[in-house]
Amino acid sequence: MGGESAAPSVRRAAVLGKPISHSRSPQLHLAAYRALGLDWTYDRIECTAEQLPGLVDGLGPEWVGLSVTMPGKEAALAYATERTERAVLVGSANTLVRIGVVSSDLQAVASGGGWRADCTDVDGVIGALRGGGVTELAEAVVLGAGGTARPALLALAELGAQQVTVIARDAGRARTALDLAERLGMTATVLGFDPAAIGAACARAGAVVSTIPAEAAAGVADQVATAPVVLDAIYNPWPTPLAAAVARAGHTVVSGLEMLLNQAYGQVEQFTGRPAPRAEMAASLEPREI
């Protein structure tokens, strides 16, 4: 065979994270592969940030791509041999794609050329907010300053937000998020967990993205619910106390399941080289509570 390796008969992908048993990414990806006529597998793999490099090093040529959730997103970015501009900008990657493993006709063989990192979380936030009726923004609020907050800031900037308030218990921890917002051309301020100030900021905002655990958001849920649209990145368990508060206020709450769905479209397209079968992927999550 001239020393050339045969294309793997089965292609594989997975989601990495810890904890990981709750992830619904397998539903989305397997629905996509079936719709595309691909006999591919997609698994959940428990993996910490420290374990990620060794685990990915050990994957065979049949592996085409990886979804990465917490706590491994920064490790995924550092591990990659190529990085998209937006992944570098937000400092994290939720997507690793084997370089050279696929082409538009799915005939390419794994090249062993490393992995490319991207952050489709940005698409996830944009798609989820648009699904909640947000077409453009002037002012927004991000609840939290961790790894999900930075993709949220880029998404809000792409939706036109010029002012953003970052709510964080530790102002020092918010420095990275504030720096990113300023690089994106937004006027950024940070607030602590002062209920009155949070209520005022959210009432002014066109949308809020909450990136913190459900129990952490519960204490300020009624104040955050003054915003017309709230995206809660949590989807399990649902509804969260924040989601319930927004619903009581008569405003629009968007589940993190919508963010998961919208970020998965780009992953499927990068893994397979084909347009994502969006209707089939969305149907795999029905019923979706929004």
Residues marked active site are found at 73
Q: DSSP 3-state assignment of 214? A: helix
Residue 226, both tokens: 């003054």
Nearest to 268 by CA among 17, 79, 109, 31: 31
Interatomic CA distance for residues 112 and 60, integer angstroms: 9
Contacts of 176 (CB under 8 A, 6+ apart): 91, 145, 150
Looking at residue 218, its amino acid is A
The answer to whether 77 and 118 are in contact (CB under 8 A) is: no
Helix (H) or strand (E) holding 261: helix 256-272
Q: How far does CA 267 lie from the centroid of its chain? A: 10
| Residue 164 to residue 158: CA distance in whole angstroms | 13
Task: Provide the edge-to-edge strand list for the sheet that holds 95-98.
Answer: 41-46, 12-17, 63-68, 95-98, 115-118, 82-83
Of 289, 287, 283, give the one whose Cα is nearest residue 32.
Answer: 283
CA 232/CA 17 separation, integer angstroms: 20
Gyration radius of the chain over CA positions: 19
Q: Tokens representing 237?
A: 């368990």
